[in-house]
Structure formats: C-alpha cells, structure tokens
Chains A and B, each alone.
Chain A
C-alpha cells in the first residue's frame, strides 16, 4: 500500500504474494505424480509435489505469522474475519467426514443398501470397542481438556503453563496416533477385503490424518508460545489450533460410537434375510 494513499478502512490487504501460485504448482504436480504412482509409476514426482506443498505452507504461514506480529496489520475487525475463515474451514471439513459417515450407514443399514446382507460381514474379525479404541477415546478426550487448560493459561498470561499444556496435548496426539497405527497393524482385515474395511479404514484413516495435522498445528503453536508470539488478547493461531483439536475430538466420538460400538453390536448386525 502506497504511503500517500488515503485509507480509513481497517482491513489488511496483503502485498502480491508468490505462495498461491507455488501452492497451485505443488497441487498440480501432486495430482499428476499421484496418478502416475497409482498406475505403476514411481513415487518421486508425487514426493516432489508434496515437498513443494510443504515449502509453500512454510513460506505462506511464515508470512502470516510475521504480519500477525506486526502492530496494526491484524486489526480487531481483521481478526474477526480470520476467525470466521477458520470456523468455515472446519465446517467444510465436517462435511467431508459427512460423506464417509454416509458411506458407512448406507453400507450397514439394509434399509439403504440393496447389496448389504450382513453387517459386520461374517468374514470380518472385529476390533473390540472396549480395547484400544476406548483407550484412544480417553486419550483424545483428555487432550481436549489439556488444550483448554493451555488456552485458559494463555488468556491469564501464564505463558510457561500454556506452553507446557500445549506440548502435553500434542504428545497425547502422538500417543493416539501410535495406538491407531498399532490397531491397523494388528487388524486381521486389509483395505481390499470388501466394504467393511473400506468404510473402516477411510473413515478412521482420514480422522487419523486430521489428528496428525492437528498435532503439527499444536506443535507450531507451542513453538510460537515459547517465542512469545501470543498475547492474552491476540492469539488467533492458537485459538484455531484449539478449535481444530476439538473438531478432531468430536469426529472421533462419532466414529467411536457408530463405527466401533454400534457397528459391532447386536443392534448393528443385520441378519441375512
């Protein structure tokens, strides 16, 4: 913005940026590389695209962090917009999971599917809901509490406490992912064993991926806390990470109740007719 410009609005209009187009090139390379890989090609092109994507995220969000640390760029009104933006992003994510829940219910309810005759299919050896999945539920619920403790500490300007509990939350996320991976390794059914593994692995797998993303987000926030980026009234990044974490938590609760408990219970069974 030219300094001689008369300006009375409170909005932040950023300078031209290279990151949108590098991100697009990354997505384009990943698409072509992914297709190549899926059709018996090598994986390196996909990896190159992914590396460029990570580089874009780093460069773009680094720029946003610099702006948020510059006094006057993120006005109160601009911050409201950032919050709206992130909430709407979470809404779109919820609709993505909506599709996988739809696939799950369509496949497991005889009312909907013309094909399903028994759920869970007789050949599937189920993962007991009261084992590792219950433990993971407790871990994720606990992590929702710890991230809230961190948030309250941040609001009360106790930076060390906030940092500590943010990292504890991230560690809980890592433990969750560890158990999830172990569950996959020990499962007796593989992805290509029909509709049950299809819905199970894609629903829980995408959730696990979101836990991974949320953990990374929390780690970045923990690091930014140590750098003193956040103040009690200026911490959109942290707030977004916390919201994202709660969203991941809520999706898990739906997965646990429906896929693990209901999907395996006598109520969930469809007897062959």
Chain B
C-alpha cells in the first residue's frame, strides 16, 4: 500500500453552506451520525417511558393506552429508520467506503446529500405522526385494519406513511450511490475478492435496499389510497385482503433486518481482524456467507406471519428456508472465533464491543432458530419471547456494532483518541444493562406475556421489574457514551494515523487522523498479491 501525500491547502467551504450544500462524503457521514445520535435520544426516551410504565403491574403514569401504542410505534420506527440505518449505512458507510476503496468521494455526491436531508425531513414527519390526532399507534408493522381509516381516522398514520416514503426515497438513492461507488470506483488492484469485508457488507446492504424498499413504497402507497381515496387493497368489504399488506410489508421487512445487521457484520469483521492482528479467517467464505444471507433473506418473509393461516406445505417451506440461514450465519460466527484463535488479542473497547456483539448475536440467533419453527411460533407469536429475540439479534447487536465502529473509527474521524478506561466502563455498563433488560423477556414470553400491551397480570411482575432495571442501566450506558463523546472531543490526546498498529491493514489507516477534507486525490495502488 502506498503512502498518500496530502494537499495542505485543504480547500473546504465554510459556514452553514459547508453542511447544507455539502458534497463531501465525510461531512455527510458526520451529519448522518449526529442525526442518528439525536434520534437515539428520542427513540431511547420512548423505550424508557415504556419500561417505566411496565416496571410494575397496573397503570403507572400513562393514562391513555393509545399513547403507549404511540410510544411502541415511534420507538420502532425511530430506532430502525433513524438510528440504526443512518448510523451504520449513512454514517460509517459514507465515511469509510471511499476511504477503504481508495477513491476521493462517493459516485454521486449531490445525491448523497439529498439522501441525508430526506432522512432529516422524514424524522420531522415521523415525530409529527406521534403527536397529531392522537398519534399513530399501529406498531412499526402498520397492519391494516388497525392502520386503516376506520381505526386511525386522523392524519397521524398519513404522516407516518409520508415519513417512510421520504426515508425510503433516501434509502433508494443511497443504495444506487453505494452500489455504483463500490462497483465502479475501487482503486486499481482492489478486485472484488480483495475488498475489505466492510465493503462487501455495504455492497450487499445496498442491493437489499434497492430491491426491498420499493416494495414497501408500493405497499405504503396502497395503504395511503385505501385510507384516503377509497381503494380496497386491504379492505375485505371491497374484496381486498389485509394479509396482502403482511406479505408486502414482510417481503420488505425481512430483508430490512439484514439491512440493519449486514453492515454490523462488516464492522465486526474489520475489528476482530485488527485486534487479533490476523487476517480474517475464511475471507471468501465470509463474503459469500453474507451474499447467501442476503439472497435467502428474500425468500423467508412469511415466517413473520405463521399465524395467519397458511397451509402446512407453505409453513414447512418457510420453516426450512429460514433455518437454512443459520448455516451462513454459523460460518460467520465460527470464522470470527477462528480469526481470534491464536491471535495476539488486544482487548480495547472496539474489540470488547465486537466480542459482545458475537455473544448477543449468538443468543438472538439461537432463539431465531427456535422461532423459525412454524409449530413453535404458533405459541410464541406476539409474545415477549419474540421481543427478546429480535432485540438480541438486531437491536442490541446493531447497537453494539455501532458502538464498536464508533470507538474503532472515531480517532480517524475526529483526530482525537477516546479515553480507553471510560470506553471500557461504558462497554461493561451497557453489556450488563442490555442483558438484564432483554434476557428476562425470554422467560416472560415463554410464560405467555403478550407484546405491545400496556399492562400485564401480576405473574409477570418479577421478570418485568428486572427488565426495567436493565433498561435504566442501559440508559446510564447511553449517557456514558455522550460523556465519552464530550471527553474525546475536548481532549488533547491526538489519534495517530494508524492507532491500532499492525492489525489495521485497510486503506483508511494510510491517511492522516483526522482524515483531511479531501483524501485519495492520488489514487492508491493496491499491489497485486502473487497468484495463489
């Protein structure tokens, strides 16, 4: 890898236009990360309110049950579309795709900017949806008839639909941008089979976005016309079928969960390799495991709707197809472990978070295999077991990968080194908190506690109290994160260009920290490896 010479007249626009009019992948990535943190405070506050309400049986302080439904809905939407996706894809993707493939910027920098601003506008619309006309209390799945004009007659659901339309437009434009950048703009010598796994992950994520989001857009449009123009797509009295919504939603929704977790796979692969000071074990297997997860992810959607009355053959197929995904997922888990095996491991905060990710993902994966069984799911459907499962497998897993990526790359982004002890403290508080929060929910769910309910029988009191205490501890972890952020930005400890040493071999470590405004103006040459 070559050394990069930098232009020291770092030419950058100044003032508000630098951000509002930006065509710079680093500035746009930063804006995505800031938006994600801001949205996380809103989405996190919603979850704290829910956990506080569920702290004990009976109604604590939320007197209007619809408000609880609104909290469930807002929490889900905000965390998925405005925290995880902007941070992992918009934030880290924008920052590090050009740096890691050795190109000056994204393929379409202006389109990159509109992708960001559309997410910001969508967030405003979604927050309005929570407050106007009693709020949208549909859950993030927006199933009719609950979401139809009969049960949500006001403007709230329409605001939610339009928010998702704008966020979806942003995602589609972003996906086009990412795919074009990765396919077309890699530095000479970086063949597909030599791209960092983070780049593989982002490429596959972008393909999933490109194919899944337009289907959601179609479904949302049908819901909008059902609500406002008298169509009957999901209305049985006009010959329509609410199950159609479920099919369309989950045809998008299942790839969506991989959209959230594939970038995490990429980040964790980079970090595990760096801190084990070894190349990733089974590189090609890892890349194609992600590819097959992405492909198979499109043909398993109905496992979210086992209870709506499929025939037994259909359920058998979706059970089988879903379980097949455990195979490439296992390849990933074992390859991470094999990468660590015999490595000279450094347990800095990014590595702690990566190992935490692997643990959480395995727990969530195991319950996923359980739920993949149509027969078992008949009993577990819509219980807290499902809540525990998907929070392990994508919510806190995605969160851990975001934290991991932040600690790993923040030096590159800010030029400052975070205080290591504080990072480790933040990890342990968060790790204890999230497990205390979600593990008991397995037991509550197995005992039959339904999800999305403001109150519950006394029998579930114990697990719920533990879960709520876990939530408070996780919130302390979240506050500690902002302390770390503040301490790092105000500290004088400079981050070196390559702060992680010999294990960090990707191209972003060849440029200064903080990364200059323009990088890779001189295209790096990747020296070809001798033929195997």
Contact = CB atoms under 8 A, between A and B. Distances in A.
Contacts of B236: 115
A270 B231 CA distance: 21
Report which residue of B212, B217, B227, B232 has the largest number of chain A beta carbons within 10 angstroms of its beta carbon.
B232
Contacts of A116: 239, 241
B13 A16 contact: yes
Contact of B238 (A19, A96, A194): A194
A93 to B, nearest CB: 7
B351 to A, nearest CB: 34
A62 to B, nearest CB: 13
A17 to B, nearest CB: 5
A11 B522 contact: no
25 contacts: A2-B11, A5-B518, A17-B23, A20-B114, A31-B125, A31-B162, A32-B162, A35-B158, A35-B159, A81-B108, A84-B180, A85-B180, A89-B172, A94-B214, A95-B212, A99-B215, A106-B247, A114-B243, A121-B239, A195-B238, A195-B240, A198-B226, A198-B231, A201-B231, A202-B221
Contacts of A8: 521-523
A146 interface: no
Given A23-B114, A28-B121, A38-B158, A91 B210 contact: yes
Interface residues of A, number: 67
A66 B103 CA distance: 24
A146 B113 CA distance: 37
Contacts of A21: 20-21, 113-114, 117
B78 interface: no
B175 A16 contact: no
Contact of B248 (A15, A92, A99): A99
A241 B177 CA distance: 19
B248 A196 contact: no
Contacts of A80: 184
A95 B184 contact: no
Contacts of A7: 104, 521-522
A155 B23 CA distance: 33
A260 interface: no
Nearest to A118: B239
Interface in A213-257: none
B9 A4 contact: yes
A100 B251 CA distance: 13
Interface in A15-45: 15-21, 23-25, 27-28, 31-32, 34-35, 38-39
Interface string A166-200: 00000000000000000000000001111111110
B520 interface: yes
Given A8-B522, A80-B184, A20 B117 contact: yes
B194 interface: no
B522 A6 contact: yes
A157 interface: no
B114 A192 contact: no
Interface residues of B, number: 84
A103 B222 contact: yes
Interface string B216-243: 0111011011111111110010111101
A197 B181 CA distance: 42
A89 B104 CA distance: 23
Describe A's contact surface by its main secondary structure: helix
Interface of A: 1-2, 4-9, 11, 13-21, 23-25, 27-28, 31-32, 34-35, 38-39, 60, 77, 80-81, 84-85, 88-89, 91-100, 102-103, 106-107, 113-116, 121, 191-199, 201-202
B180 A20 contact: no
B367 to A, nearest CB: 30
B120 interface: yes
Nearest to A100: B218
B180 to A, nearest CB: 4
Given A35-B159, A193-B238, 14 more contacts: A6-B5, A9-B523, A18-B21, A23-B114, A24-B120, A35-B155, A88-B179, A88-B180, A95-B211, A106-B247, A115-B240, A197-B231, A198-B233, A201-B231
Residue in A2, A96, A116, A198 whose Cβ sees the most chain B Cβ within 10 Å: A198
Contacts of A35: 155, 158-159, 162
Given A2-B7, A85-B107, A92-B176, A113 B244 contact: yes
B239 A194 contact: yes
B109 interface: yes
Interface string B84-128: 000000000000000000011101111101101110110011000
B155 to A, nearest CB: 5
Q: Which of A11, A17, A25, A89 has its CB near the most chain B CB atoms (within 10 A)?
A: A11
B346 interface: no
B325 interface: no
